Structure formats: C-alpha cells, structure tokens
Structure 1
C-alpha cells in the first residue's frame, strides 16, 4: 500500500518550502510527492508569498530528488494547451529520470481564472476528453511518425510528437465523483482513478462504477489503480491531534469524520476501511508544510502497519 504526500501550495508556500517537504518525503520513505495545480488561494488565508506553478515546481524537484514519484492532483485542462502540456510533462519526466505522473482534470475554480485572465469555458468536460486523447496520443506516437488530431476544440496536423518521456508510459490519473462520463474517461485513458475527499461508502460506490467501465473497455478491472486523497491530521495523543487541527483551522471531530485524523491506531484502522473498497494508494493532504514532524510521525507509526 502506497502513502504519498499531497500539498496545496496555493494556500501559501514558496518553492523552498516545497523542496523541504519533498526532501523529507523522500528521506522518510514515502512513495511520492504530489501537489495541486492552482493559482489562487482558497478560504480565509493570506496565500503569501503567492502561487507557484505546478510544473515549474516539479521540474525543480526532479533535479533535487532521486527516488520519489512526482505529480499533480490535478493539473487543470484549462491552464495549458494539450500539445504544450505533453512537452512540459515529458521534459520533467526526462529531468527526473522517469518518475513523473500526470493527474489531469477539467478545471473548476472559476475565481482563479478570472484573477489571472485565464479563459473559463463552459464546455470543460469535452475539452478534458480531447486533452487526454492528445497528450496520451502524442506520447504513444512512434519515433519518426507524426500525430494528427481533428477535434471540436483542438486540431493538430503533422505534429512530430516530441519530446518523448523517459518512461515508456507516463501514468495518467483521472478522478472525481461523476457517475457516468468520469468513469468512462478514466477507463479509456487513465492508469489510476483518484477519489478526492470522499467517504468510505462513496468510495466504494464510485470504485465499483469505474471497475465496470474499465471492463467495458476490455481491460481487467484490476489494471486500474484506485486511490483516495484525504486530509491528514495525526498525533501521538489527543493534545497533539488538537494542536495540529488548530494549526490548519479545523476541528478534530470534523477531521476524524472527513479525513485521516487521530492517533496512529485510528488512522491505520480507517485506512483499512478504505482499502476494503479497493483503494490501494493514499494521498495524505498535508496543510501545515512547516510541521515536518507530522510526516515523520506518520512514517514511523502508521506506514509500518500498512504492509
């Protein structure tokens, strides 16, 4: 079972802060460091020192780390043209020696588009479908061949489909709770399906939908990795749980209900309940990026119990 660290830098983090967290992630034995792809803070925080770009960040971390996987939950399809995104991700994969994964979503946060002058189209899902087809198609195109695409939103003609990533296949993540189109898109294009901040019961229902969609595409249901992203707030005792909850402006009871919170034993038990739904990978959303002892505690007292 994989444990991955997931950060939300738009809430306020410099590159240097992210680098410290990524190095701790690697040193402590976690599987991967992921980050959100947003340009505007959410909620009642100042967001200082300001946003960092996801793929610029990952390019830097690619050269500063050596083992952990690196990726996004989720890059917004509204932020980049698909041909440009394919180049960016392939280059960072080369820079990392083949450790990159791409989470790609439709884009949903209208305020950040307005704030930075990014178009926010109405038909986002159709654009996401075409982006997935183009990005994966470009990477699959054999050397010396060209790639053409004639879609409603994007057209490519005689594209050399370069550069190629180091990995033969960069893992692609799709996620969400849409009951029909989301599972279908995942089944067609994704290697991993991610469930963002949902309950055990809702995870079980959506994983079953995705498994059925995967099989309808002629794939084995277990060819997809199923994962959950959940806020983490772990403490050695109740006082430490309360302190960490207060540091991120949350209540321990609410975090226990909606995330992975409590003592290590409590968190291991809840991860076990998610695992029963078919989930085998967990993205621990870490909101206090200065609290590296939090990562150390989870690595020391949660990770060894998961097998």
Structure 2
C-alpha cells in the first residue's frame, strides 16, 4: 500500500493568502490528500513579508474554496490560544470544511516569537508540556460533552465552569463522540509517547536525523498504547521532512538554491531531497521503518511545478515502497 502524501507549508517565512490558496488548490488538483500549515507568528529567516497569518482564519478561507482534501496545522502551539477558544475555532473550521480538519497540537518551542508578540512562553519545557496536556484535556472535554450538558475543569492554568462545549465538530471519534483528529509529535522518550497514547489519532515525527531513532520512537508510542490498553494500530504514524526533488541533479540543485539550502547538506539531511530516484528510495526506507503518511514540507510556494513532478514521477512509484513493521 502506497504511503499517504500531504503538502505542508511554512507561511511565516513569507506567504500571502493567495500563495497558500494556490498551493492548496494545486495539492487538490494533483491528488495529494491534504494541505497543512505551520502555526508561527515570526519568521525564522528573511523578512517574512507580508507577515504571519492566523492559522484558523487561513484554513477556514481555504476550506471554503478547496474541496475534498484534509486540512490542518502541523502544529499549533499550546501557548498561543486559550484552549476553549481553540476548541471553538477548530470546530468552526471543521464545519466550514464539511468535516475535513485535523488539529496538530504541540507544546511550543520558538521563544523569540513569544517575546516579540508578548505571548506567555513558560520557564521550562516541563511547564509547557503540562500546559499542552491540560489543553488536550479541555479541548477533548468540550467536544465530548453531550449537547445540553456542561463541562467543568479545574486545572493549574485554566478553570472552566458550566461551559456548554459548543459548537461541536462534525467529525466523530471511534466512540461516536464529536471529535477532530489530533496529531501529536515529538522525540521525548516517555511523556510524549504516553500523551500520544492518551489523546492522539496520529503520531508525527518532525525532521528526524536517523531512521533508527525514528523506528525507536514509533516503537515507544506503540508500547505506550499497549500499556494504556489501546491498540497501537489505532494511530497513524507519520513523518515530516523538507521536500526538494529534481528530475535530474541540476534541477534538484536549482530548487535547493531557490530555498536557500546547500544541495549537498540538504541531501544528507532529508530523505525527500535529491533526484526522483533518490527520493523514491527515501520514501521506501521510511515506509519500511513504519511511516504511513508523509508531510512534504514545501518551502518555495511559487514552484507549483515541483508538486507536479512529485505527482507525476514520484508518487506512482510508491506502491509497495515498503511495509510498516508491527510490534503489537
């Protein structure tokens, strides 16, 4: 079975709505299954013009104009929004899209953007992880509260009293409860797998350096699911990496230069960088390692021909590229 391919963008590096919409429309036309975006408010290099965009405003607008494909964040920072307002925004986009939203949620890591915009960052990773856990408890609690009933929460950061938990997402969980699929990722050896086992519908590895480390982390998540009494196969296991493909080496190097990356360094860092043959091999290696879904980080939003090349020359060769091992 061929892996699932989704397009993943970084708008904080410089993208107007028209740029994102064009890429989302191309993703749909070319048969990719999803269009995802990061959730940042400060560039990590360059001027970032015209400036950052609000993720859920952006996704709502795209949802109204691009049919069929899945939409979501990879990932929203738990430091950015009150969990109640995040639950409402996500449910609203789920409604606009007809039930196509997925919510990637993380603890937050980019301190500079918090300083720039006066957002609370927290004094330690442990504090941010605790905040992420509490957000997930609140968001899923609000979505899962039956209509006509209310939700209360007493936590170290937030207190809710008598929240009706409206609106509800269109999508539903396996237990037939209103629920938007949740993506959790990270490399922590204990707390991250346990959190994924408790809340996630998908576990994502972002930009791993080594296949062996990825195999180990997927294994930890599967073991955490078993310890929690949940089937490890309930989750989708995914990978995110920089996409840079050329029909030949010269085209690859031109694309690497266009995104400000050294071609040799990028080839060494990303399994999705190189010629078509090299990238097909990279997909195969990671599919064998357990990745069922790939988020293709597209950094040049004006190069739609790049996506066309993947759709024409790479994706048709991925059937049977590898088989995910099972440790359940």
* TM-score interval (norm. to shorter): over 0.9
Q: Does 1:209 align with 2:220?
A: yes
- The residue aligned with 1:5 is 7
Length-normalised TM-score, structure 1: 0.98
- The residue aligned with 1:23 is 25
- The residue aligned with 1:226 is 237
Q: Work out the CA distance in 2 between the residues paired with 1:290 and 1:201.
A: 34
Deviation at 1:136, TM superposition (A): 1.1
Deviation at 1:148, TM superposition (A): 1.1
SS in 2 for 1:129: helix
Structure 1 residues 136-215: aligned runs within 5 Å: 136-168=140-172, 169-198=179-208, 199-215=210-226
Deviations 1:180-225 (A, max 9, x none): 1011111000000000000312111110111100111111111111
- The residue aligned with 1:241 is 252
SS in 2 for 1:178: coil
Structure 1 residues 33-72: aligned runs within 5 Å: 33-43=35-45, 45-72=46-73
Q: Does 1:281 align with 2:282?
A: no
Q: Work out the CA distance in 2 between the residues paired with 1:138 and 1:216.
A: 26
Deviation at 1:104, TM superposition (A): 0.3
**Gaps (5+ residues) in structure 1?**
none
Q: Work out the CA distance in 2 between the residues paired with 1:204 and 1:33.
A: 26
Deviation at 1:154, TM superposition (A): 1.3
Could you tell which deviates more after superposition, 77-86 or 117-126? 117-126
SS in 2 for 1:289: coil
SS in 1 for 2:289: coil
- The residue aligned with 1:251 is 262
Q: Work out the CA distance in 1 between the residues paired with 2:129 and 2:148.
A: 32
Deviation at 1:292, TM superposition (A): 0.3
| 4+ aligned runs moved over 2 Å, structure 1 | none
**Gaps (5+ residues) in structure 2?**
173-178, 320-328
- The residue aligned with 1:305 is 317
Length-normalised TM-score, structure 2: 0.92
- The residue aligned with 1:108 is 109
SS in 1 for 2:28: helix
Q: Work out the CA distance in 1 between the residues paired with 2:115 and 2:157.
A: 21
Deviation at 1:76, TM superposition (A): 0.4
Deviations 1:46-87 (A, max 9, x none): 111111111110010010111110000110000000000000
Could you tell which deviates more after superposition, 245-254 or 124-133? 245-254
Q: Say which of 107, 110, 135 aligns to 2:139.
A: 135
